[in-house]
Structure 1
């Protein structure tokens, strides 16, 4: 119920009108100063109109997207010899998406100020006038689009597939090498922020909102994967080891920048951008289209082992080392457009939620109880995760230190597992850690205290986070008949 007032006060306090900020007045604007006296009554009237922005904005935005796809595929295994196999798969996918949206907005302040103040943009008050128009429309980017509809259509066709060469020198060992190409369809970002005209005031563009609908598109994602591995199994012991590399083109990244959701397709540039992709400008850091390459590369090694010395006891362990990094030079799409400045921390860094080291392990013991077929259950598993960043924009304040989580289960089972009673606990040591940190909505700070963290001087932003589940426990009853 207080959002309208919050938005108005936030806009005035954080913009070029900060000198007028008065939190005790209804519209958060101080009494008319001399600077906006008789010489500029139109400007002061526009400022006072900001009072009317409480609880206005989008009334309803309706988005519709339909998808139709069809595919042809084949998957074949060729037995070259009794020990050597070749697996070949190929898929053709045709994807079509249709999109339309209709907007409603009752923010008349934006349009009224734009009509009244635009003639004054050539005067000495140009900066103030432009700021007022922008503040009137900030957070209400469809104010001029009330009742306007837009539509678009996107078609794609793509080949994907796999090739695996496997060799079994004996019954216990298999060696293999594989290549695969994956495809994820592109689409439309269902968010109205991209429909803003690029400059203030929000003058009508040629073709209106329909001319800006292309800003909502994002491209299809392609991944090329290679893997070398071996699998060994004999008696109570098995071991798997694999080395892999994956290159992502048009990596689809969804980021909340504190105001809106951005969907950016991330690519790399084979030529140096000299740091232009790491600044706060949306216009620097372009790359020639013929220099565009993968945006993300993941490479590493996986180990997995299982030991079952008896039918009642089983141990498993796994270890993964993976370096999942963005290219050192990044652009925003396959045409080489500059990266969105909200993503300026990405170049050359590890991807979010991608720790370099993950270790897992589990122990299961199911001893017989008596001679009537009953068994016990004692189970423990754990997962140790290295440091990683939980924010898709990689702001350093969103870093999560490494941690370990353990789960356990104890129970009794009837003959042939016809019934069971199990007591279980998740995160039994109650480890607190962050699942995701994000920019607190509309809380970007200024250049001075208290917004500047001495440890992270370029991060003028307040943050929030969602924590993972604490310790949980319960009982499960099972039965089959």
Structure 2
């Protein structure tokens, strides 16, 4: 975890600047810290970052994803007596993004149709639709489109995305020495607002866009008492309270030059809007006791009891060109106005209009922890741990379909499937066992090894609904086991080697309601459930669970005369292949890769100044950090074709960084 540096009792500061060539990234940081009076000190840090991005947008001609970020943080530390310490921190951040690091790849025809002359891949279907709209139908204004090549090459089409986020954080921590015991109070406040315009069809064709506006506030208070340590019984105990509120609004908009007008020319300037809010109140009591049974044996007992109450409401409304709400049906079950087909069209998005639905849930949970530690030798500690974990359930405010399968459901006309949405999901729980050892080897090496096993019940998963949205659902059960090994070795006075390797096994032992991936109904008919849209994923691995991962780091420091020092860090990070798509589509697999990073710096031995070369991902690995089926691809191809959107991690980058400390 990251810990904010506290103000210092002596004056110090630093200035750091970085310039990177591939993304034209500029990064500037300034830190000032020192005493203001005999008992009061302060710290101020500023950060500014500007990135042009490695993608080329063929539609706008811009480099993407463009990022601009400003963060400033100030803190004060007041120590009026030896017993009392008060630390306060305020942080504001503002970051704006234009464009996205996403593109379409793998435009395919369903495998059983390949070579038959039947079916159309998504990009071909887009080309055909655009030609029909602008040629045969002559829609005005015309559908704008720059084409997509369907290759993973950081070239994309898109007609404008942005993401603006502002956040404020305040923390107040008071420590008071009660003559051996330490009483600590921590008060926190967080708020953020963000607005987003997502060209969520991920093409340059004007199909639809999604606007989102979200605001969040949270207040928390913790009070804990800590024993002085070094006794037969050491302990920490406390109370925690948290309350938060989320306000959410988004809309899916079909513009007057949308490609979808070819389905019905009246479908222009229509939209669906969603309004939701959620409130949560939670309190917890926690304690941990360390019983030092002897000089070599320790028993750690801990527990946390928590109660949480959540309430939420949600409304989805469709609007016609007159900006008036359009109900789903009239009493006779027919679409009520001249925009015949309006709601079936949004049924093609699997977004159904409904009046306000609301929910309330309350959960109570106790999570124990038991650890036994044994100092087998002066250089080896063995341990065994049992712990239970819990994640509260909640409400899915972004699910598109109605959660009740018995309501009038607008069908997805392109694929003939009824998508049932989600409003409420259940809590997730876990039981975990771990055994391990921490060892010192001579005076120059350390080695840690751990083996673990975890059982999940009601594992919370985010699932693509097969059309446009995502649903948060509970998988039945899952088992995870693995082994982790890491160590450090001071080879010479100037050379340190570090390494880590991990083996992970993940299996869904009960997951009958995963969203089917594209074509699974044909390719794996035995997995399809009676509803036709969910598939049994029992026995499969979860996304982002590579079997093997590892890293090797070499740090080397060498004097260059009396006034200079060379500092070099080389690290290699390996990951086995894994699936990145929540539907577990076998087409969505990230190949194994090894990323190589290198930092070479020259500076003063005291660390006062430094000039460095920083290279990241020097092997230029294409790593997909997220991806899935392209929205509406199945709809516009009649279920015969697909393409996949993929968000790529950064390419190879080369930067120069300078730092001066005073």
Fold-level match, TM-score > 0.5?
A: yes
In the aligned structure 2, how far is the partner of 1:119 from the partner of 1:66?
37
Query: Which secondary structure does the structure 1 equivalent of 2:632 belong to?
Result: strand
Contact in 2 for aligned 1:172/1:232 (Cα 8 Å):
yes
Q: Which one has a larger percent strand, Structure 1 or Structure 2?
A: 2
In the aligned structure 2, how far is the partner of 1:113 from the partner of 1:25?
29
Contact in 1 for aligned 2:504/2:546 (Cα 8 Å):
yes
| C-alpha deviation, 1:89, in angstroms | 0.9
Contact in 1 for aligned 2:317/2:353 (Cα 8 Å):
no
| C-alpha deviation, 1:371, in angstroms | 2.1
In the aligned structure 1, how far is the partner of 2:642 from the partner of 2:536?
14
Per the alignment, residue 409 of structure 1 pairs with: 599
Structure 1 unaligned blocks of 5 or more: 1-12, 15-20, 28-46, 121-130, 204-212, 268-294, 333-337, 453-459
In the aligned structure 2, how far is the partner of 1:149 from the partner of 1:442?
26
Contact in 2 for aligned 1:107/1:143 (Cα 8 Å):
no
In the aligned structure 2, how far is the partner of 1:311 from the partner of 1:319?
25
**Structure-2 change in CA distance of 1:386 and 1:475 (3 Å):** same
Per the alignment, residue 266 of structure 1 pairs with: 475
**Structure-2 change in CA distance of 1:476 and 1:408 (3 Å):** same
Contact in 2 for aligned 1:229/1:243 (Cα 8 Å):
yes
Query: Residue 198 of structure 1 is aligned with which of 405, 413, 425?
Result: 405
| Aligned ranges 1:82-101 → 2 under 5 Å | 82-101=295-314
In the aligned structure 2, how far is the partner of 1:48 from the partner of 1:418?
66
| C-alpha deviation, 1:26, in angstroms | 7.3
Query: Which secondary structure does the structure 2 equivalent of 1:327 belong to?
Result: strand
**Structure-2 change in CA distance of 1:102 and 1:350 (3 Å):** closer
**Deviation by residue 1:73-123 (Cα, 9 ceiling, x = unmatched):** 001111112111111110011112221234442149996894497489xxx
Report the TM-score when normalising by structure 2.
Answer: 0.52
Per the alignment, residue 380 of structure 1 pairs with: 570
| Aligned ranges 1:220-259 → 2 under 5 Å | 220-234=427-441, 235-256=443-464, 257-259=466-468
Contact in 1 for aligned 2:308/2:363 (Cα 8 Å):
yes
| C-alpha deviation, 1:348, in angstroms | 0.8
Count residues in correspondence.
Answer: 383
RMSD value, Cα: 3.6
1:467 aligns with 2:467: no
1:68 aligns with 2:252: no
Contact in 2 for aligned 1:380/1:406 (Cα 8 Å):
yes
Per the alignment, residue 356 of structure 1 pairs with: 547
| Aligned ranges 1:330-369 → 2 under 5 Å | 330=512, 344=535, 346-369=537-560
1:53 aligns with 2:267: yes
**Structure-2 change in CA distance of 1:342 and 1:431 (3 Å):** farther
Contact in 2 for aligned 1:110/1:143 (Cα 8 Å):
no
| C-alpha deviation, 1:339, in angstroms | 10
**Structure-2 change in CA distance of 1:236 and 1:340 (3 Å):** farther
In the aligned structure 2, how far is the partner of 1:400 from the partner of 1:141?
29
In the aligned structure 2, how far is the partner of 1:103 from the partner of 1:307?
59
1:320 aligns with 2:466: no
**Deviation by residue 1:269-313 (Cα, 9 ceiling, x = unmatched):** xxxxxxxxxxxxxxxxxxxxxxxxxx1111011111211023321
**Structure-2 change in CA distance of 1:342 and 1:164 (3 Å):** farther
| C-alpha deviation, 1:391, in angstroms | 0.6
In the aligned structure 2, how far is the partner of 1:49 from the partner of 1:331?
32
Query: Residue 435 of structure 1 is aligned with which of 625, 639, 650?
Result: 625
Contact in 2 for aligned 1:110/1:133 (Cα 8 Å):
no
In the aligned structure 2, how far is the partner of 1:91 from the partner of 1:178?
16
In the aligned structure 1, how far is the partner of 2:656 from the partner of 2:268?
50
Per the alignment, residue 335 of structure 1 pairs with: none
| Aligned ranges 1:122-161 → 2 under 5 Å | 135-139=344-348, 144-145=353-354, 148-161=355-368
In the aligned structure 1, how far is the partner of 2:617 from the partner of 2:311?
44
Query: Which secondary structure does the structure 1 equivalent of 2:491 belong to?
Result: strand
In the aligned structure 1, how far is the partner of 2:483 from the partner of 2:282?
35
Structure possessing the higher relative contact order (Cα contacts under 8 Å, 6 or more residues apart):
2
**Structure-2 change in CA distance of 1:345 and 1:149 (3 Å):** closer
Per the alignment, residue 423 of structure 1 pairs with: 613
In the aligned structure 1, how far is the partner of 2:329 from the partner of 2:384?
63
Per the alignment, residue 167 of structure 1 pairs with: 374
Per the alignment, residue 272 of structure 1 pairs with: none
Contact in 2 for aligned 1:326/1:351 (Cα 8 Å):
yes
In the aligned structure 2, how far is the partner of 1:265 from the partner of 1:328?
10
Of residues 158-167 and 303-312 in structure 1, the stretch that sits farther from structure 2 once superposed is 303-312
| Aligned ranges 1:286-305 → 2 under 5 Å | 295-305=477-487
In the aligned structure 1, how far is the partner of 2:660 from the partner of 2:263?
67
In the aligned structure 2, how far is the partner of 1:71 from the partner of 1:159?
9
| C-alpha deviation, 1:165, in angstroms | 0.5
In the aligned structure 1, how far is the partner of 2:655 from the partner of 2:601?
12
Query: Which secondary structure does the structure 2 equivalent of 1:397 belong to?
Result: coil
In the aligned structure 2, how far is the partner of 1:49 from the partner of 1:169?
74
Q: Which one has a larger percent helix, Structure 1 or Structure 2?
A: 1
Structure 2 unaligned blocks of 5 or more: 1-118, 121-128, 140-260, 411-419, 515-528
Contact in 1 for aligned 2:507/2:539 (Cα 8 Å):
yes
Query: Residue 393 of structure 2 is aligned with which of 182, 186, 197?
Result: 186
In the aligned structure 2, how far is the partner of 1:185 from the partner of 1:113?
33
| C-alpha deviation, 1:369, in angstroms | 2.3
**Structure-2 change in CA distance of 1:384 and 1:140 (3 Å):** closer
Report the TM-score when normalising by structure 1.
Answer: 0.71
Contact in 2 for aligned 1:57/1:140 (Cα 8 Å):
no
**Deviation by residue 1:352-402 (Cα, 9 ceiling, x = unmatched):** 111001121110001122224x42111100111111101111101101111
Per the alignment, residue 658 of structure 2 pairs with: 477
